[in-house]
Amino acid sequence: MGALTGKAGLVTGAGSGMGRAAALAMAREGAAVVLVGRRVALLEAVQREIADFGGRAVVYPGDVTDRAVAMGAVDACIAAFGALDCAFNNAGGHGDPAPIDATDDDDAVIDLNFRAVMWGVKYQVAAMRRKGRGAIVNNASIFGLKGMPGIAAYCASKFAVVGLTKAVALECAGAGIRINAVAPGGTETPNFLRVMDGDAHAMDAMVPMGRIGQPDEVARAVVWLMSDAAGYVTGSVLSVDGGLSAG
């Protein structure tokens, strides 16, 4: 029996990085998973990985900045698996660092990192209220807890995710629905490697543990927050950053 046996969930941005790792971890712990994202080939590859170890997954392609996609992903999970028990609102990213007065992608960053999460939470909560239980995990960031020059819109969007998580956790505390967030530090994902010009060790000296994180380390935190083992945890932000935010 896995920690999520008998549960059905969804993951946004499930084709790579932390989303892929979380989807695989959820499936290994017994959950059936809807894989949400824009790049169908990547989602189908994750679906095959899950099938290879006997898990269940379906692909739901779409851009989560469209609120209709957020709603449709919830409906797809219920149609495929009969329920929505858990969700990881993971999709996110940012452009190349630049001072705020030299950026032109602010709206896109806010849409992807915050509004997509808000739409997800909105429709996930509505479905979970009908069942009287559920667990949602939002992907914030260490930069939802502290500032960083050059990524102002990203920091603002991730601080907003933390605020959303805490506010909705209070709204749902009596409804059997728990809502938490993870706040990863530097994690070896395709986007991290792009920003760091392929150098996976560029941040190592900044991290108290001397290395950046791996996607599966974030995924294990996500699964724990979804599981009954975290049954008294709601409105929390769990840092998964090798101690970087502790200083």
Active site residues: 154
C-alpha 144/C-alpha 154 separation (Å) is 8
Residue 125: how many CB atoms within 10 A of its CB?
A: 20
CB 167 within 8 A of CB 181: no
- Residue for token pair 């705020």: 100
Q: Could you give the 3-state DSSP secondary structure of residue 203?
A: coil
DSSP 8-class letter at 91: -
Query: How many separate helices (H) and strands (E) can be counted in the chain?
Result: 8, 7
CA 91 to chain centre: 6
Coil/strand/helix, residue 20: helix
